[in-house]
């Protein structure tokens, strides 16, 4: 055997620089999982039945064009069906967006800290991540992002509200940004948490995309709709971008089970949105509780809150785990805590109060 054969296959060196995606810690039987921004409720009855019925055809490949869900989304948002591109979660649609626009030597920009998948999918494409620090109040620094644009910039992610800080960008500010970005750069407005927004000054990305060919919107069924386990997300984009997404996506990514469950969840929307409203109320209770305890917490419009704990991050996460709630630490930076079951939120609040007293 030659020496090269013994070394194993040559992998792309660019992979060495890629951080591995860290999923939220699984919670043990005796703890609550507040680490992945999931919806804490069981699937609605109609949704579960649709998924079970669809499982009867699992010897067949699914509908590659995801026809019915695409038609339903097009009708609901008042956009042409050709503008909708689905995928196995919006992360995979985001990856297809990067693969469609950027390769080696090109730049993909995002705020930081923001969604962890952005730097990973950028580097998988061989492109260069450009991470622009958040402002002191945990918001996108849109002026700094504009200043960081180069002739290599191909795509800019804007996460509204931002994961993990929960902070939003208002309409006027976002429009000013979009008007200043060169029209050959794709701007992706990631609205994974839009259903949790109650701040009326936050725009709906779909209104912004309509007359801007370089703007696209990302949505998911994983968060408010409670289908994280089924992997369905989609982009709304003008035709050249949507067509590119269909070329770069893994074929047959959305299963029949996922499509039917997504359709059923749209049909049970009133019940779903009632649950979202309950989570929004819980968010207000948690935010008020933290403020009362003396924490500085920026207003979150998502289903989580962010505590910037710096060096105390891991200690805080350990205290939460000890108390029975698993949160998401970003070592050296802070902790993101999903709004979950009422009891889980109360345990988190009590832990935060005790931790604060010891500081």
Ligand X SMILES: *Cc1c(COP(=O)(O)O)cnc(C)c1O
Q: Which parts of this chain interact with ligand X (CB under 6 A)?
A: 37, 89-91, 115, 159, 163, 190, 192, 220, 222-223, 228, 233
**Least distance in Å: CB of 184 to ligand X?**
24
Closer CB to ligand X, residue 217 or residue 287? 217
Residues 6+ apart with CB under 8 A from 331: 313, 314
Closer CB to ligand X, residue 80 or residue 229? 229
Closer CB to ligand X, residue 62 or residue 233? 233
Taking the CA atoms of residue 201, residue 187, residue 266 and residue 260 in that order, the dihedral angle to the nearest 10 degrees is -170
**Least distance in Å: CB of 279 to ligand X?**
15
Closer CB to ligand X, residue 35 or residue 37? 37
**Least distance in Å: CB of 274 to ligand X?**
21
Sheet containing 233-236, strands listed edge to edge, beginning at the edge strand earlier in sequence: 84-87, 233-236, 215-220, 186-190, 153-159, 107-112, 128-133
Q: What is the DSSP letter of 81?
A: G
The phi and psi torsions of 149 (rounded to 5 degrees) equal -70, 135
**Least distance in Å: CB of 254 to ligand X?**
11
Q: How far is CA 314 from CA 46, 308, 320, 329, 333, in A?
A: 40, 11, 10, 6, 9
CA R_g for the chain: 21
Closer CB to ligand X, residue 134 or residue 192? 192
Beta bridge partners of 216: 188
**Least distance in Å: CB of 234 to ligand X?**
9
**Least distance in Å: CB of 79 to ligand X?**
19
Closer CB to ligand X, residue 158 or residue 241? 158
Residues 6+ apart with CB under 8 A from 297: 287, 290, 291, 305, 306, 307
Q: Are 340 and 34 within 8 A, CB to CB?
A: yes
Closer CB to ligand X, residue 24 or residue 46? 24
Q: How far is CA 129 from CA 98, 215, 286, 339, in A?
A: 11, 19, 34, 30
**Least distance in Å: CB of 253 to ligand X?**
11
Q: Are 236 and 79 within 8 A, CB to CB?
A: yes
């Amino acid at each position: 055997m030659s020496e090269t054969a013994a070394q194993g296959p040559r992998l792309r060196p660019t992979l060495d620089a890629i951080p591995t995606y860290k999923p939220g810690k699984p919670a043990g039987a005796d703890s609550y999982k507040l680490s992945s921004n999931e919806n804490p409720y069981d699937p609605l009855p109609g949704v579960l039945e649709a998924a079970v019925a669809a499982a009867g055809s699992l010897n067949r490949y699914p509908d590659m064009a995801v026809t019915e869900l695409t038609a339903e989304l097009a009708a609901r948002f008042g956009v042409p069906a050709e503008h909708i591109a689905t995928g196995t979660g919006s992360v995979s649609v985001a990856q297809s967006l990067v693969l469609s626009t950027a390769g080696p030597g090109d730049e993909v920009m995002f705020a930081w800290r923001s969604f962890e998948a952005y730097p990973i999918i950028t580097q998988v494409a061989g492109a260069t991540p450009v991470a622009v620090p958040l402002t002191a109040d945990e918001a996108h620094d849109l002026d700094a992002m504009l200043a960081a644009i180069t002739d290599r910039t191909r795509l800019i992610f804007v996460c509204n509200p931002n994961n993990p800080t929960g902070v939003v960008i208002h309409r006027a500010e976002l429009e000013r940004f979009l008007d200043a970005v060169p029209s050959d750069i794709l701007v992706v407005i990631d609205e994974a948490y839009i259903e949790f927004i109650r701040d009326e000054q936050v725009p709906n990305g779909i209104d912004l995309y309509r007359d801007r060919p370089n703007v696209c919107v990302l949505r998911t069924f994983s968060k408010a709709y409670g289908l994280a386990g089924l992997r369905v997300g989609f982009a709304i984009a003008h035709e050249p971008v949507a067509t590119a997404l269909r070329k770069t996506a893994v074929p047959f990514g959305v299963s029949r089970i996922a499509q039917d469950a997504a359709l059923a969840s749209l049909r049970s929307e009133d019940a779903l949105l009632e649950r979202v409203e309950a989570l929004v109320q819980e968010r207000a209770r948690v935010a008020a509780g933290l403020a009362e305890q003396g924490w500085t917490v920026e207003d979150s419009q998502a289903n989580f809150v962010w505590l910037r704990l710096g060096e105390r991050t891991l200690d805080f996460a350990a205290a939460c785990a000890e108390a029975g709630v698993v949160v998401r630490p970003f070592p050296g930076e802070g902790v993101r805590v999903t709004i979950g079951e009422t009891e889980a939120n109360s345990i988190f609040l009590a832990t935060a109060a005790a931790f604060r007293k010891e500081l």
